[in-house]
Amino acid sequence: MKDVSSSSGADPRQPSSAKPYVPPTVSPQDLPIDYSGFLAMLFAMAGVMFKYKVCSWVSLIFCAQALVNMKNLENDLKQISMAMMFAIMGFVTNYLGTSRSSPSTKR
């Protein structure tokens, strides 16, 4: 007795009925948020504004993670490069800028 489903001609195991995979198109506005890029930007801003060295280092780590997991080249690269610039500015202000010292009292 022959199986009815194999005689329909839509058997995916047959090379003639195989079709190449075409990923669905998604607009840039509908893409999910890149959380590592977003966190990199937040920590970079905190490193620059509050002069926290730890935030600059964490921002650099999140930048590397966002760069590795990049899905949309155009949008993600803009955000990652912006976060990287703020992280570098944080390093420059923290390590090469003037140090915070307590005000001296005059007698």
pTM assigned to the model? 0.67
Answer yes or no: are the C-beta atoms of 59 and 100 closer than 8 Å.
no
End-to-end Cα spacing for the chain? 108
Whole-angstrom Cα distance, residue 62 to residue 36? 5
Q: What is the pLDDT tens value at each position of the chain, 107 positions in all?
A: 555 554 556 777 888 877 888 988 878 777 788 899 999 999 999 999 999 999 999 999 999 999 999 887 877 888 899 999 999 999 999 999 877 665 665 55
Helices (H), 51-97: 53-68, 73-91
Output the pLDDT for position 41.
94
Domain ranges of the chain: 34-92
CA angle 80, 86, 87 (to 5 degrees): 85
Q: What are phi and psi of 20, to 5 degrees?
A: -70, 150
